[in-house]
Structure 1
Amino acid sequence: MRIALFTETYLPYINGVVTHVKILKEGLEKLGHEVLIVTADASARRHYVKDGVLHCPGARIKRFYNYGVAPPISHRRLQLIEAFHPDIIHIHNEFGIGLSGVMAAKMLKVPLVYTLHTMYDDYLYYISPRPLLGVTKRLSHRYFKFLAKNASALTGPSKKCEEYFHEVGVYKPVTVVPNPVELDMFMPENISEADKTAFRKRYNIDDDVMIACFVGRLGREKSVDVLLEYWAKTMTPQDRIHLIVIGDGPCKEELEEQAKELGISEMVTFTGAIQHDELPPYLASCDIYITASLSDTNSISMLEGMATGLPVLQRLDPLNEDQVRNGVNGYVFNSPEEMAARLRYVKNMSPEQLAILKKSVTHSVMHSGAEDLANYMLTIYHKLYEKA
């Protein structure tokens, strides 16, 4: 099959959607299918195709981490997509490129798949002043409803996506397709002990200190502030448990200030932005992955931690409750006290108990690779292609 994947951002940028699309492309190509990535490129002065990527000129938007955003209408873009002769068009974002995919599918009479990756109600504060949030939410719901109604199939990485579509007034079936992870990159046996030792030395963390880590964009929606509040209420230096926050974002400075005000700076380290290819030894040097976020659908950063063997400690999120199973790949907490108890429980495990848990954690993501994702999607693509 010939599949065109539309995404607002793509390599060299890294975020959850980019990683998902990159792994899907690799999986589809391994299985013998042809893939065209259609993406915005703020550095491009014209539309051009290189190495299977259609670069579309766009403007750099500072509020969106300097990502490029392209206008949805372009005759030249449509010509290049038509020349690819796609059997399926699959959109992964909702802005200029996503809308461009909707229009291309309609004009070329090609089935359209729409994957919702983001719970946008949690992100509206990036684009709308507080007094206008209600109006912005209603307008955004109408727009997402328009996109979904034009799609032949809807997918998302968790049940949250179906709930979101229901909230905007769309009641089509939504197929849950779990997010992927680059298994080879994050498996513990592929990460050197020297790199792990260097990590602890870099951040001056003793060998007998357990490290809990969070990885992600430091925005309000990730609830790192909640994690810090919980930590201040229940953790002490005597616990010998350290929190590492890996990533950057608009809230980084205020989170660092919050840690100081709470008196927990000596128990918390903010690393700032880390390049994705440098992340494996960071994760492998930690002991547990922790998150208080209720905005994620199926966090790829969390899956990357699991691939290195890190059990996940996740704040209770009813629509994602099947992602973390107590004692299998981690534990769920619903209060500061429960968080602290879970952390201490893992810290006090015997080496044998911990080895069994880590093996169970890595086993839980073994079917989350590129070809697994591609096969999930191909079942959907083939059904649509046969109907077309």
Structure 2
Amino acid sequence: MKILLTTDWWTPAVNGVVRSVTLLRRELMARGHDVKVLTLSPTNHSYEEDGVIYLGSLSADRVYPGARVRFAAWNRWMRVLTDWRPDIIHSQCEFSTFLPAWRLARRCGCPLVHTYHTAYEDYTRYIIPSQRCGRVAVKELTRLFSGRCDAIIAPTGKVADLLEHYGVSCPVYTVPTGIDLAAFHPIDDAQRPALRRALGLPENERILVSIGRLAAEKNHGELLRLLVREPAESRPLLLFVGDGPARAQLEQQAADLGLVDRVMFAGMVPPAEVVRYYQAGDAFVCASQSETQGLTYFEALACGTPTIVRADPCLDGVVEDGVNGWQWKDAAGFHEALAALSGPDTARRLRQGALATAERFSAEHFAQQALQVYEEAVERRCRIPGGLPAGVPAAASGVGFFLCLWLGVWAWHRGLLTDLNALQSWVSGLGVWAAAAFVAFQAVQVVVPILPGGLGCLAGVVLFGPWYGFAYNYIGICIGSLAAFGVARYCGRPLLERMFPRKLLIKYDRWMGHKSFSRWFALAIFLPVAPDDFLCYMAGTTSMRWDQFTLIILTCKPFAIAAYSTGLTVAMNTILRLI
């Protein structure tokens, strides 16, 4: 399989996205897949090196430290990647490289899978002062780009729940990011003193290790406030490994709290050295609630280091109280966990539990789950009738329209369109077959639009009279609506993108995530003003149940059909009288 990974972050940057993408690339290549990476260049020049395409970019430090934005044109690389023709594109970031990923997926006709790495609600403070406005903006933007994806990967159940709350319009899979268990491993207790000496750490102290970027959203300040409440004689040493914009503030806070001798800042360390700090600690601590992947938690567990962390939904099933560490919700919980950790038997048991938990997050398992998502996304693309090109649905509608036009010309020459009585007599002569053919026509034209729906309703009244015409319209349109819902439920969002204009999809996308979508949908079906056929397709890509959809169609369609039939009949009779 040819797989393209796109990301705004790449080495030498060190963060969860980079670790996740580089690990995934390595594991996919180890399985024999052809993998390329599209990312941003550290300069404004574009180039390719070792299967990685770097697009020229500019620094965006003012928006977020270390971030970059695409600067150079990329038409040349679009042609290169189009000729390579990926089978799947896996996007990792929502900004500079997402648009190229989406455009390339459309050009190559391959699925676009996206991993939602970041809970942006916790980061809007960098650009939007209002927290409420930031959340609304994140929700709308998330739904906008999800409408362009075939599937989204959520690293944790917490993220999957967030995406469900946003109302994303594509399948969501929970796939925990894996770690390299060979790189993160435990050491014997007898080796720990020598390791601490090598790192310049005290040998006989209890050491709490916090590893990661020092930033406001990580909430490191709370660890200092908790530490100062520990009795001075038993207060452990808190070691921060990493750097970031909040370091100066944390250093000042430690000084203000009188913790200068109890807090150490190791600064940035080479990625290969990070494991040694996990191994040197008695426990890994974290107060962040902005995590979406929790890679540092997994790495700590893989090193056999118990965790004492702030309770967070992303840790459900990962950190288990008394098994491999504790999740604390308040200061009392933190201090109780710290006290329990002091027992040698407890520490040994927690280390064993940590290692057992880490086995579930291996790199191999991570890659295998990602491949399953890819295969299902490709399969859904293939389900679209015949795997036909984008223009086929429109062509089918065109063929149907010209067939109706040909039948109209034939009826005109037979005099059926100039004499209403003759037309009704001819239809009556066909018996039950006329009604069956009309019901089938109404059902088919909901699935494959041929004529405006209102004209079909008018034809039913003209051909069969007001009562039978209404009944046949109702039966045919209801059958067609159920069929459209089923087709969309089976084929998914890609089919909608082939059948309907993107502007129409974007216009109605904002309703799909609303909790009141079913009520809004029922109102739209009841009133003869909305594009009912399109909405039936769209409802098929939501979580609406079959029984709920069927009830809405059966109970709300009659009014709209009656309104169309009556209104157009009155209009036609008025025109005929005037003529």
* Structure-2-length-normalised TM-score: 0.62
- Alpha-carbon displacement from aligned partner over 1:130-149 (angstroms, at most 9, x marks no partner): 2x554444333322211111
Partner of 1:316: 311
Is 1:60 equivalent to 2:59 in the alignment?
yes
Distance in 2 between the 1:51 and 1:70 partners?
20
Partner of 2:411: none
Point out which structure has higher relative CO (alpha carbons under 8 A, 6+ apart): 1
Equivalent pair of 2:121/2:134 in contact (CA under 8 Å): no
Correspondences of 1:322-361 after superposition (within 5 Å)? 322-350=317-345, 353-361=346-354
Distance in 1 between the 2:185 and 2:315 partners?
24
Partner of 2:49: 50
Partner of 2:196: 199
Partner of 1:36: 36
Q: Which of the pair has more CA radius of gyration?
A: 2
Greater mean deviation of Cα atoms: 307-316 or 238-247: 238-247
Going from structure 1 to structure 2, the CA distance change for 1:72 and 1:310 (only over 3 Å counts) comes to: farther
- Alpha-carbon displacement from aligned partner over 1:251-277 (angstroms, at most 9, x marks no partner): 111111111112222221121112211
Give the 3-state SS of the residue equivalent to 1:367 in structure 2: helix
Is 1:230 equivalent to 2:203 in the alignment?
no
Distance in 2 between the 1:12 and 1:327 partners?
37
Going from structure 1 to structure 2, the CA distance change for 1:282 and 1:261 (only over 3 Å counts) comes to: same
Deviation, structure 1 residue 220? 1.0
Going from structure 1 to structure 2, the CA distance change for 1:133 and 1:355 (only over 3 Å counts) comes to: closer
What one-letter code is carried by the residue in structure 2 that aligns with 1:79?
Answer: R
- Alpha-carbon displacement from aligned partner over 1:276-330 (angstroms, at most 9, x marks no partner): 1111111111111111111002311221111111111111224533221112221
Distance in 1 between the 2:17 and 2:43 partners?
20
Deviation, structure 1 residue 175? 1.1
Quick one: percent identity of the two aligned structures? 28
Partner of 2:258: 263
Correspondences of 1:1-388 after superposition (within 5 Å)? 1-43=1-43, 45-46=45-46, 48-63=47-62, 64-71=64-71, 74-128=74-128, 130=129, 132-170=130-168, 172-189=170-187, 193=191, 197-200=194-197, 202-205=199-202, 207-233=203-229, 235-350=230-345, 353-388=346-381
Give the 3-state SS of the residue equivalent to 1:184 in structure 2: coil
Equivalent pair of 2:302/2:355 in contact (CA under 8 Å): yes
What one-letter code is carried by the residue in structure 2 that aligns with 1:377?
Answer: A
Deviation, structure 1 residue 26? 0.9
What one-letter code is carried by the residue in structure 2 that aligns with 1:43?
Answer: T
Distance in 1 between the 2:188 and 2:78 partners?
42
What one-letter code is carried by the residue in structure 2 that aligns with 1:321?
Answer: D
- Alpha-carbon displacement from aligned partner over 1:198-247 (angstroms, at most 9, x marks no partner): 53465442x321111111111111011111112222x1331152111111
Equivalent pair of 1:40/1:55 in contact (CA under 8 Å): yes
Deviation, structure 1 residue 374? 0.9
Equivalent pair of 2:57/2:72 in contact (CA under 8 Å): no
Give the 3-state SS of the residue equivalent to 1:21 in structure 2: helix
Give the 3-state SS of the residue equivalent to 2:208 in structure 1: strand
Distance in 1 between the 2:103 and 2:189 partners?
44
Distance in 2 between the 1:8 and 1:192 partners?
42
Give the 3-state SS of the residue equivalent to 1:337 in structure 2: helix
More strand by share: 1
Structure 1: stretches of 5+ with no match in the other structure = none
Deviation, structure 1 residue 341? 1.5
Deviation, structure 1 residue 189? 4.7
Equivalent pair of 1:115/1:156 in contact (CA under 8 Å): yes
Deviation, structure 1 residue 354? 2.8
- Alpha-carbon displacement from aligned partner over 1:48-80 (angstroms, at most 9, x marks no partner): 322121111111222333343215962122112
Deviation, structure 1 residue 103? 1.9
What one-letter code is carried by the residue in structure 1 that aligns with 2:208?
Answer: A
Going from structure 1 to structure 2, the CA distance change for 1:126 and 1:32 (only over 3 Å counts) comes to: same
Deviation, structure 1 residue 342? 0.7
Distance in 2 between the 1:98 and 1:281 partners?
36
Going from structure 1 to structure 2, the CA distance change for 1:190 and 1:298 (only over 3 Å counts) comes to: farther
Equivalent pair of 2:4/2:36 in contact (CA under 8 Å): yes
Equivalent pair of 1:42/1:69 in contact (CA under 8 Å): no
Distance in 2 between the 1:117 and 1:259 partners?
31
- Number of equivalences: 380
Going from structure 1 to structure 2, the CA distance change for 1:215 and 1:119 (only over 3 Å counts) comes to: same
Give the 3-state SS of the residue equivalent to 2:228 in structure 1: helix
Going from structure 1 to structure 2, the CA distance change for 1:329 and 1:387 (only over 3 Å counts) comes to: same
Deviation, structure 1 residue 368? 2.1
What one-letter code is carried by the residue in structure 2 that aligns with 1:217?
Answer: R
Deviation, structure 1 residue 126? 2.2
Going from structure 1 to structure 2, the CA distance change for 1:345 and 1:189 (only over 3 Å counts) comes to: closer
What one-letter code is carried by the residue in structure 1 that aligns with 2:256?
Answer: E
Deviation, structure 1 residue 43? 2.3
Distance in 1 between the 2:321 and 2:209 partners?
18
Give the 3-state SS of the residue equivalent to 1:170 in structure 2: coil
Distance in 1 between the 2:340 and 2:188 partners?
28
Equivalent pair of 1:41/1:69 in contact (CA under 8 Å): no
Distance in 1 between the 2:162 and 2:103 partners?
23
Distance in 2 between the 1:100 and 1:340 partners?
49
Equivalent pair of 1:215/1:247 in contact (CA under 8 Å): yes
Distance in 2 between the 1:201 and 1:187 partners?
18
What one-letter code is carried by the residue in structure 2 that aligns with 1:166?
Answer: E
- Alpha-carbon displacement from aligned partner over 1:167-195 (angstroms, at most 9, x marks no partner): 4332544211111112111112599948x
More helix by share: 2
